[in-house]
Structure 1
Amino acid sequence: MTTENQHALEVIARMRSLCSQANDLMALHAGKSSFNRLEKDELQQGFRSLKEELKRYAKTGTIDGKKRDRTELEEFYFEPAVSTAAANILVSVNADPASQAWFSCVYGIQTDVGHLLSQLTEQFPN
Structure 2
Amino acid sequence: MEKLPEDAEVVITDLRRLYTKLREIMAAGERLKGATSWEASEYHERIKTVKAQLKDYAKTEALNLRRKTQTDAERFFFGPAVRSAASHFRMRTDAAPTKWVSELSEASSDVSYFIHKFERHFELPHT
The TM-score normalised by the length of structure 2 is: 0.85
Secondary structure in 2 matching 1:34: coil
Q: Which residue matches 2:74?
A: 74
CA RMSD in angstroms comes to 1.9
- Provide Cα deviations, 1:32-85, integer angstroms capped at 9, x if missing partner: 532123332122111111100100101111012224111121111101110111
Q: List alignment gaps of at least 5 residues for structure 1.
A: none
- Secondary structure of the residue aligned to 2:97 is coil
How far did residue 31 of structure 1 move? 5.4
Q: Give runs of aligned pairs for residues 1-126 of structure 1, distance below 5 A.
A: 5-30=5-30, 32-99=32-99, 102-124=100-122, 125=124
User: Which stretch shows the higher mean deviation, 27-36 or 13-22?
Assistant: 27-36
2: distance between equivalents of 1:25 and 1:55?
17
Q: Is the contact between residue 35 and residue 98 of structure 1 (CA under 8 Å) also seen in structure 2?
A: no
Q: Structure 2: give runs of 5+ residues left out of the alignment.
A: none
Question: TM-score, normalised on structure 1?
Answer: 0.86
Residue type of the partner of 2:49? S
Cα distance between partner residues in 1 of 2:27 and 2:65: 27
Cα distance in structure 2, aligned partners of 1:82 and 1:12: 12
The aligned length equals 123
Q: What is the DSSP-based 3-state SS (H/G/I as helix, E as strand, rest coil) of the residue aligned with 1:30? A: helix
Distance in structure 2 (CA, Å) of the matches to 1:30 and 1:94: 16
Distance 1:96 1:77 in 2: 31
